[in-house]
Amino acid sequence: MAHDLTGKTVALLVAPRGTEEPEFVQPREALTGAGAQVHVISTETGEAQTVNSDLDPGGSYPITHAIGDVSADDYDGVVIPGGTVGADTLRASEDVVSFIRTFFSQSKPVAAICHGPWTLVEADAVSGRTLTSYPSLQTDIRNAGGTWVDEEVVVDQGLVTSRNPGDLDAFCAKVVEEIAEGRHAEQSRSVA
């Protein structure tokens, strides 16, 4: 069953450099294809330079908003792609971490793939949650109080996570589904 996201606005985070291209492009296409308006948000304005497999150059994509100019209040969900450098850049930004944390406190859907869950650890939002990620993050997630599992896609009360680009079809389907469902009351328990 297809989910209609008409009237929904979704934040898609991207680092100025180092975000994994398919983990940015495919969710954006799935969201817009379902009718959502997608804002590409980064730590600065301009163009984002993506990568493929962390080392190979990807494409250049316009950033529509700087993190300092947006509020989580204006979005129905947030998607956080991976890419080792990209995710590390995003988690180092206090504004990005605060932005993500607000989605949890407002019980809105949050989705992260590959190295993207690093930002969730930094936001102190994984305690008591079950999630997946790129395997090298499992110790970080466990140390932050989360339960790490090796599955294609994991949904925990509005939190959607996946391991790598190979999981994108399942990830995108669940992201669209969770945003269509709207707020999840249990989401706020992560940051209570």
pLDDT above 90 coverage of the chain, percent: 93
Query: Any idea what DSSP says for residue 44?
Result: S
Closest CA to 15 of 54, 173, 169: 54
pLDDT at 1 over 70: no
pLDDT number for residue 192: 66
Average pLDDT over every residue of 68-72: 97
Average pLDDT over every residue of 125-139: 97
Chain-wide mean pLDDT for the chain? Answer: 96
Contacts of 24 (CB under 8 A, 6+ apart): 12, 14, 48, 50, 61, 81
* Lookup: tokens for 53: 């497999």
* Lookup: tokens for 51: 């990568």
Label residues 122-134 b or e (16+ Cβ within 10 Å = b). bbebbeebbbbbb
* Lookup: tokens for 79: 């998607």
**CATH fourth-level superfamily of 9-186:** Class I glutamine amidotransferase (GATase) domain (3.40.50.880)
Q: Which residues are catalytic?
A: 114-115
Label residues 97-110 b or e (16+ Cβ within 10 Å = b). bebbbbbbeebbbb
pLDDT at 60 over 90: yes
Render pLDDT for 15-47 as a digit per residue (tens, 0 to 9). 999 999 999 999 999 999 999 999 999 999 999
Read off the pTM.
0.97
Render pLDDT for 86-112 as a digit per residue (tens, 0 to 9). 999 999 999 999 999 999 999 999 999
DSSP secondary structure of 57-106: EEEEEEE-EEGGG--GGG-SEEEE---HHHHHHHHT-HHHHHHHHHHHHT
38 C-beta neighbours (distance < 10 Å), count: 20
pLDDT at 2 over 80: no
Q: Where are the domains of the chain?
A: 9-186
pLDDT number for residue 191: 80
Question: Strands across the sheet with 46-52, in order?
Answer: 17-20, 46-52, 56-63
